[in-house]
């Protein structure tokens, strides 16, 4: 037994040495927490944890900006899409959101009309304030910070990855909401990544403030807020809109 003890002491000493360098791969395993399971989407089917904001069946998740008591009067089509009804105004979600992943598909009119900002104009407002521009920017020059996939009047997209008018296009948006301190001063700006038709066009872009048509972005403290889709007078269509809260 004596020898055995001696053997063990030696063993432990060398063990301490060896392990200081980590020799056991288990040492760097982390078992908790276990990420929850999400069944990914397929075709038009969204991921299992997504909030379906629009799938063609109606506007139950939306209200009109002009009159939140009135029914949304954009047009539903048989292909499960909706189209802006010019003059009826923007629509926005009943629910409010913070950090999220947002998927949607949009289509600018096949029959091209107008030019620059006047062609297939709409927009996706994150937290009711920060616009990812929707525009027919296929062979349609406008100011770079106003073309499709720009953070409108803030940040030009990395590239122009637009499909032609009449074709469905996708936006996959990763949004981190801004953070404000007790003074209402911005402590951590919002950020957004946008993948358009599978091509990254905004990459962790800092949001500079509210989207303003005239003047500079403003900073205003706020909490969770709706997603808003813009009626800019053009017959832009949307379909397959879902959101995952992060």
Which parts of 46-85 interact with a second copy (CB under 8 A)? 47, 49
- Say how far apart CA 176 and CA 188 lie, in whole Å: 10
Nearer to a second copy, 41 or 114 (CB): 41
Q: Which of 70, 71, 110, 187 binds a second copy (CB under 8 A)?
A: 187
Residue 229 near residue 122, CB atoms below 8 Å: yes
Sequence-separated (6 or more) residues with CB below 8 Å from residue 13: none
Distance in Å, CB of 179 to a second copy, minimum: 8
Residue 184 near residue 195, CB atoms below 8 Å: no
Nearer to a second copy, 2 or 183 (CB): 183
The reply on whether position 9 binds a second copy by CB under 8 A is no
Instruction: Name the 3-class secondary structure at 18.
Output: helix
The reply on whether position 96 binds a second copy by CB under 8 A is no
The reply on whether position 107 binds a second copy by CB under 8 A is no
Region of 88 please: left (phi>0), alpha (psi -120 to 50) or beta. alpha
User: Which of the ranges 36-44, 54-62, 122-130, 233-241 carries the binding residues for a second copy, by CB under 8 A?
Assistant: 36-44
The reply on whether position 244 binds a second copy by CB under 8 A is yes
User: Which of the ranges 60-68, 76-84, 121-129, 215-223 carries the binding residues for a second copy, by CB under 8 A?
Assistant: 215-223
Nearer to a second copy, 5 or 78 (CB): 5
Sequence-separated (6 or more) residues with CB below 8 Å from residue 79: 56, 239
Distance in Å, CB of 73 to a second copy, minimum: 27
Q: What residues form DSSP beta bridges with 205?
A: 192
């Amino acid at each position: 037994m004596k020898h055995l003890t001696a053997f063990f002491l030696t063993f432990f000493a060398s063990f301490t040495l060896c392990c200081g360098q980590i020799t056991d791969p288990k040492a760097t395993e982390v078992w908790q927490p276990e990420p929850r399971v999400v069944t990914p989407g397929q075709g038009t089917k969204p991921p299992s944890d997504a909030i379906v904001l629009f799938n063609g069946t109606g506007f139950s998740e939306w209200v009109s900006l002009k009159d939140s008591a009135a029914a949304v009067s954009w047009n539903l089509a048989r292909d499960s899409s909706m189209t802006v009804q010019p003059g009826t105004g923007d629509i926005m979600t009943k629910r409010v959101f913070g950090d999220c992943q947002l998927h949607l598909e949009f289509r600018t009119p096949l029959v091209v009309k107008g030019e620059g900002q006047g062609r297939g104009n709409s927009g996706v407002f994150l937290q009711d304030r920060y616009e990812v521009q929707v525009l027919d920017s296929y062979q349609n020059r406008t100011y770079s910070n106003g073309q499709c996939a720009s953070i409108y009047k803030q940040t030009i997209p990395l590239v122009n990855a637009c499909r032609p008018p009449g074709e469905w296009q996708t936006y996959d948006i990763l949004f981190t909401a801004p953070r404000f301190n007790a003074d209402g001063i911005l402590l951590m700006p919002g950020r957004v990544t946008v993948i358009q038709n599978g091509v990254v066009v905004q990459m962790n872009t800092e949001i500079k403030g509210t989207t303003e048509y005239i003047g500079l972005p403003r900073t205003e403290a706020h909490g969770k807020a709706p997603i808003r889709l813009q009626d800019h007078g053009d017959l832009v269509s949307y379909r397959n809109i879902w959101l995952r809260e992060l």
